[in-house]
Structure formats: structure tokens, C-alpha cells
């Protein structure tokens, strides 16, 4: 179970409507929404991995400490939520190191995992994997083995594995879960797809990943996805659809999902698979 801790105005779908330097002007709802998820996880007795955006961690240090003190895994969602392939290697390196040490100072423990903003590690910026490995990350969970307008490596390996970065370093990759249908990988890992598909379909796909493909799956969600009352942002029809579709159904579906499957942190699943020693 994983959560990408960011606020509703920071998502890539709204990047054209809300500039980074306007983030401060929006009502912050990330703490309340993360608390909602923490309560739900506690009720269901589930531990999760929280990939926290550095920008949020800097402003809400207490939230990071709370996540950690409740026994969840704290991991990194980068610092600025810019798409990595739009950044220079130098900017990416600096903010990656900065966000990792920011989290580590808050929790007093090593941060092992990383997830890129909008899964923005694609074939054109595999150098990001070198930088993650050099920065000391143990695992990455940013590669989506699908075709999509913003992200994805359609022919990437779909199961957790150790990969060799372009510079020859070793990094564990936990790709976002897909279900093979004919020639295509169907995204079934959470977020917008979880809100789009009827719940029985998500359950069917995830059960079949568990059973037929004999695999663990990764599920992801954002705190703003359990907040149907969030302030509305003006954007293109498609961006609004992606962001607002079925928000009001998300929390009850999530509750159902947690009854239907067993969940744990990314670190503990990868340890069970002997990928992390």
C-alpha cells in the first residue's frame, strides 16, 4: 500500500493552471487528508509506504513524524513535483539529495524508497536511475509499464526486480502494477484508474495479478483522492476528469479494498521477496 503525499494543487494535471510559485496561495489540505488515510489504515491495521513530497515535508514536518511514529514507512516523492524529464540532471540531483536528507533528519532513519512525480522516469531519462542510486536509494517505484501521454515504458519488466542503471549501479525497481490483456498492459495500480474502473473490476484485476501471475501488486493513492470537498481548479476538461472523477467513491472503495486484500509497506514486501536484505 502506498500513498504519494502531495496536495490537490500540485498534481501534474493542473501544472498549466497552477504555477509552482502560486502553490502557497492555495488552501492547504494535505495534513487533514493524510490524517484521514492514517485513521483508515489504523482501523484496518495496515502499514503503508508514504512517498512524501519534499515541499510538503518542509512545511509540515510534524506530519512526516506522525506517519513514521505510527509505524509506516517514510519514502521520498522528490522535492518539487516537476516532471523529471523536463529537469536538468543537475537540478534533479540537487533536489533529490535535498529531499532525502530532509526526510531522514525528520525521522532519524534512512529513507530507502523513491517515487517520481507522475512516474516521470521514461526511456528518455533513465539517467534519473543513476542519480537515485548514487543518492543512496535502495529501491525505486516510478516505472509504469504502459503507454500514456505523460509517462510509461511500455515494454518495461512488470514485476519487482533488481535493475542495472545506465552507469552500472544496482537498484531495486517495483514497477506500478499492470494486468496483461492480450498485447497490452492495463494499469491497475490505483489512483485515477481505481476511481475510473468499477470496484469489482479492480478487484478482479488485482486478484488475478495475485493468483494467475503469482505476484505482489503495488497500490497507490493520494491524500486529495479522499477529499471530494477540495476547492475546484479550472483546467482542461480532460485534466478535470482525471482529477475529479469519482472522488466521492474513493474512500469507501479503499475501505473495501483493504478488506479484500492484505497490505504492507513496500520495504516489507521487498524484504519478503529477498530483494532487500
What is the CA 179 to chain-centroid distance, rounded? 18
Rounded CA separation 183/72 (Å): 37
Q: Cα dist. 136→117, 166, 276 in Å? A: 19, 16, 14
Cell 507522475 belongs to which residue?
118
Point out which span in 112-120, 185-193, 197-205, 248-256 binds Zn ion (CB under 5 A): 112-120
Point out which span in 113-121, 181-189, 226-234, 247-255 binds Zn ion (CB under 5 A): 113-121
CB of 94 to Zn ion, least distance (A): 19
Of 10 and 202, nearer to Zn ion (C-beta) is: 10
Rounded CA separation 180/254 (Å): 23
Rounded CA separation 52/3 (Å): 8
Residue, CB closest to Zn ion: 4
Of 151 and 217, nearer to Zn ion (C-beta) is: 151
Nearest to 230 by CA among 251, 202, 209: 251
Around Cβ 177, how many Cβ atoms within 10 Å? 27
Of 50 and 197, nearer to Zn ion (C-beta) is: 50
Nearest to 264 by CA among 206, 213, 209, 219: 219
Point out which span in 96-104, 116-124, 142-150, 266-274 binds Zn ion (CB under 5 A): 116-124
Point out which span in 4-12, 130-138, 151-159, 177-185 binds Zn ion (CB under 5 A): 4-12
CB of 117 to Zn ion, least distance (A): 5
Asked if residue 225 binds Zn ion (CB under 5 A), the reply is no
SS (H, E, C) 179-243: EEECCEEEECCEHHHHHHCCHHHHHHHHHHHHHCCCCCCCCEECHHHHCCCCCCCCCCHHHHHHH
Point out which span in 3-11, 25-33, 223-231, 263-271 binds Zn ion (CB under 5 A): 3-11
CB of 45 to Zn ion, least distance (A): 26
Binding letters toward Zn ion, positions 117-136, x by CB under 5 A: x-------------------
Of 6 and 73, nearer to Zn ion (C-beta) is: 6
Q: Which of 1, 2, 3, 4 is in the footprint of Zn ion by CB under 5 A?
A: 4
Summarize as ranges the residues that interact with Zn ion (CB under 5 A).
Answer: 4, 6, 117
Amino acid at each position: 500500500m502506498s500513498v504519494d503525499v502531495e496536495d490537490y494543487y500540485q498534481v501534474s494535471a493542473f501544472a498549466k493552471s497552477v504555477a509552482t510559485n502560486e502553490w502557497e496561495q492555495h488552501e492547504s489540505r494535505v495534513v487533514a487528508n493524510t490524517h484521514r488515510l492514517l485513521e483508515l489504515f489504523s482501523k484496518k491495521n495496515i502499514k503503508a509506504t508514504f512517498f512524501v513530497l519534499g515541499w510538503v515535508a518542509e512545511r509540515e514536518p510534524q506530519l512526516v513524524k506522525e506517519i513514521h511514529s505510527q509505524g509506516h514507512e517514510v519514502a521520498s516523492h522528490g522535492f518539487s513535483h516537476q516532471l523529471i524529464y523536463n529537469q536538468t540532471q543537475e537540478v534533479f540531483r540537487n533536489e533529490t539529495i535535498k529531499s532525502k536528507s530532509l526526510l531522514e533528519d525528520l525521522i532519524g532513519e534512512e529513507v530507502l524508497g523513491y517515487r517520481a512525480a507522475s512516474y516521470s522516469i521514461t526511456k528518455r531519462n533513465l539517467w534519473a536511475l543513476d542519480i537515485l542510486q548514487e543518492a543512496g536509494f535502495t529501491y525505486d517505484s516510478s516505472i509504469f509499464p504502459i503507454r500514456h501521454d505523460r509517462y510509461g515504458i511500455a515494454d518495461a519488466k512488470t514485476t519487482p526486480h533488481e535493475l542495472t542503471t545506465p552507469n552500472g549501479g544496482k537498484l531495486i525497481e517495483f514497477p506500478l502494477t499492470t494486468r496483461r490483456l492480450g498485447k497490452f498492459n492495463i494499469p491497475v495500480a490505483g489512483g485515477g484508474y481505481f476511481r475510473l474502473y468499477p470496484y469489482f473490476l479492480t478487484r478482479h484485476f488485482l486478484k488475478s495479478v495475485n493468483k494467475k501471475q503469482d505476484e505482489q501488486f503495488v497500490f497507490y493513492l493520494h491524500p486529495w483522492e479522499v477529499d471530494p470537498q477540495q476547492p475546484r481548479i479550472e483546467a482542461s476538461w480532460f485534466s478535470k476528469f482525471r482529477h475529479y472523477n469519482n472522488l466521492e467513491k474513493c474512500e469507501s472503495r479503499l475501505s473495501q479494498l483493504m478488506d479484500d486484500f492484505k497490505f504492507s509497506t513496500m520495504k516489507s514486501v521487498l524484504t519478503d521477496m529477498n530483494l532487500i536484505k
